[in-house]
Structure 1
């Protein structure tokens, strides 16, 4: 029976696969119900049916409360829905379940926060829940706890050193912390794996701007957008970085190059000039 489901998934016949997986839950053997429900949850989640995905994942935990991947996916699901406390809690549960698998002496008592040294002492291997580590890392970054976030991203990269997502998150965390050299190295590593990754290109441009290399930042933007948009972006991010005086000429160039771009660039220019005046007072 499982073969029918696998072939349906392989052929991208998602509806048939879903039907077959749900049908298999009526069979008397319950040994693989947790895995079946996990797959049903993944199918629903990929379609944006979060309520049905949640139902399937929670049902899977009834059969196997320590199913690491299910716990991890519930963390992802809740975080996507901005239910961050629940997301964090399930990410920690996934990590805890993995520590038990690895026979680690470390178990997590507090599902809200760990110290840097506690994160560092967690065991991982290639089967560990990389998304759970990454998910908590992102939440710590949002809370401004960049060094602890980096410890989580380090674990993700130990699990999968070629994870573009983990490299980008690590790079961006270093950027927010002001470590531009490390931010550059991790972002470049991500771009080596995926040269056309737009997020990586934008992050690289931001790092160049923060390091004072406006020319390189402009070149990076110009590789994947037209000149007026690139110049407007440079101006906009310079304003965000507290350098409105440096933003002005780039925004003026954006307006000169494309009159239809006038509105956005002009709004940014007015903002830059207003901030320059404030700085001069």
Structure 2
């Protein structure tokens, strides 16, 4: 059952990346229902349909399509947001996700680069792009969606990218605390989610890749004290709590939401 705190984000302007599906979609929907002017961002046009659904409910939602693997792409998001709102209060950096599942010796050079580009750079560019508007506004909140996969198997490049997200979170929070900007990471554990409409890897897995992926699933479940996967709503609730004023004394940390797996 979704717990909606109707007015928790009244008068807040929130950007959510990767908002077309999965955790990002859930976060954007809850933010809008809890009063935020919500900017849904994705490179897929699927984000238009999600935004229209919110608008049809009378909620304050806009979309921007952009490639967030580039600084220029994220600057477009910020510029479009500031056309429709006078400030930016919250950024949820949600873009990321492992593309391949296999032991590191089987990764090719271009695959490693693509993993880092997908799961590290959108968060770096997002943090950089919103800083000046947040500083000018007297503060803000940045939530970086990380992963417990920093201690995992068969996805080393992804683990390295999320380790970078955790370090970015700690260092940026240290630096920006005088500007009243909080920075927190949520390390998601194994999460049961609807099948992706647009898969991260366009090529179907080989039989060997299916075995390697199952090893990830088994290791993730076994590493959890609760021995299970969580739900999208588990992640959404944690992200929204940390983004809210209820968590105003929390910054500079990576919080695992993973049934006890510390990553």
Larger radius of gyration: 1
Richer in helix (by share):
1
Richer in strand (by share):
2
- Band the TM-score falls in, shorter-chain normalisation: under 0.3
Structure of higher RCO (CA pairs closer than 8 Å, 6+ residues apart): 2
In the superposition, the TM-score normalised over structure 2's length comes to 0.27
